[in-house]
Amino acid sequence: MPGEAKPDFSKWHGMDRNAIKWGPVIDETKCVGCGFCVVQCSERRNVFGYDEQKRKAVVLDPENCMVGCNNCQVACLWDAISFPDASGIRDLAKQLVESGKAKEELEERLKKNPGLKLELPP
Amino acid sequence: MSKTWHGVERASYVWYPKIDYSKCTGCGLCLLTCGNDVFRWSDQKGLPVVANPGSCVMGCTTCAKLCPEDAISFPDDPKHFLKQVIIKEKVFLTVKKELKDRLDKHPDHRVSAEDVEAWKKAEAGERSARRG
């Protein structure tokens, strides 16, 4: 595809993104072409394209889809978007915790950005 | 400038994650996955804190879906919640404009379904070629 360099979403917490089953599927028979999904998806990830002749949204970059996000599905009034069951990604999340990867990333994030720390009143 | 969601004043609606601390084990995945700066971290307690509820994107429940302990909840029935907002606020007028702006800014996203099919076929071909 043409265009400038895009952000790299090829990894999800060290895992290959394209090995993770998570992304929208559009039922073309239900899509009315309102375009909500296109703009509900963040501009950085920009998973959707849009066919102005047919007035249909199309899934253009499914691997840009943030693992766990289904905002587009939630916003679609015509129920034209489906996602895989979330149990698969929750299992992956459990793996991240069990392997210590989540802890490692959290420590790194807090070190890099100490402003994320906030103490609660006792 | 106040935050908006497709033209809707974000602060008019209550949408944010609630943490059940009786379940939370402090793994930090919620903070790590949120792209909107909703969470902060208490070192003292080793727990996440919902510090910026108004930054949470309406309809997003990513943190809750990933939470290994199922410790995060959102308003019941997110789809119904958004539907009420969308209809009440006539959001589609804004969405139409946003769609045009998005496609103008990213012209490679103005596509035909046939193009997409062709790309998929080409990609599948590449993959099988790589596998040998």
Specify the pLDDT at position B122: 81
CB atoms within 10 A of CB A43: 11
Same domain, B83 and B129: no
Specify the pLDDT at position A38: 98
Contacts of A52 in chain B (CB under 8 A): 103, 110
Of A79-83, B62-66, B89-93, B114-118, the one with minimum mean pLDDT is B114-118
Could you read off the pLDDT of B16-35 as tens digits, one per residue?
A: 999 999 999 999 999 999 99
DSSP class of residue B4 equals E
Q: Cα separation of A69 and B33, whole Å? A: 10
CB contact under 8 A, A54 and B68: no
Question: How many domains is chain B partitioned into structurally?
Answer: 2
Alpha-carbon gap: A10 to the closest alpha carbon of chain B (Å): 15
Q: Residue-wise over B64-80: b if at least 16 C-beta within 10 A, else e? A: bbbbbbebbebeeebee
Same domain, B69 and B120: no
Could you read off the pLDDT of A52-105 as tens digits, one per residue?
A: 999 999 999 999 999 999 999 999 999 999 999 999 999 999 999 999 999 999
Asked whether the beta carbons of B64 and B72 are under 8 A apart, the reply is yes
Host H or E run for residue B108: none
Q: Residue B102 belongs to what domain range?
A: 91-132
Residues 6+ apart with CB under 8 A from A80: A26, A27, A28, A30, A31, A32
Same domain, B86 and B96: no
Amino acid identity, position B126: E
Contacts of B119 in chain A (CB under 8 A): 1
Same domain, B78 and B97: no
Could you say which architecture CATH assigns to the domain A11-84?
A: 2-Layer Sandwich (3.30)
Same domain, B63 and B48: yes
CB contact under 8 A, A116 and B31: yes
Which ipTM did the prediction report? 0.90
Same domain, B24 and B12: yes
Amino acid identity, position A101: K
Same domain, B6 and B55: yes
Could you read off the pLDDT of B74-107 as tens digits, one per residue?
A: 999 999 999 999 999 999 999 999 999 999 999 9
Specify the pLDDT at position B112: 82
Same domain, B11 and B48: yes
Same domain, B31 and B48: yes
Same domain, B70 and B101: no
- Mutation target among B21, B66, B80, B95 for the A interface, most CBs of A within 10 A: B66
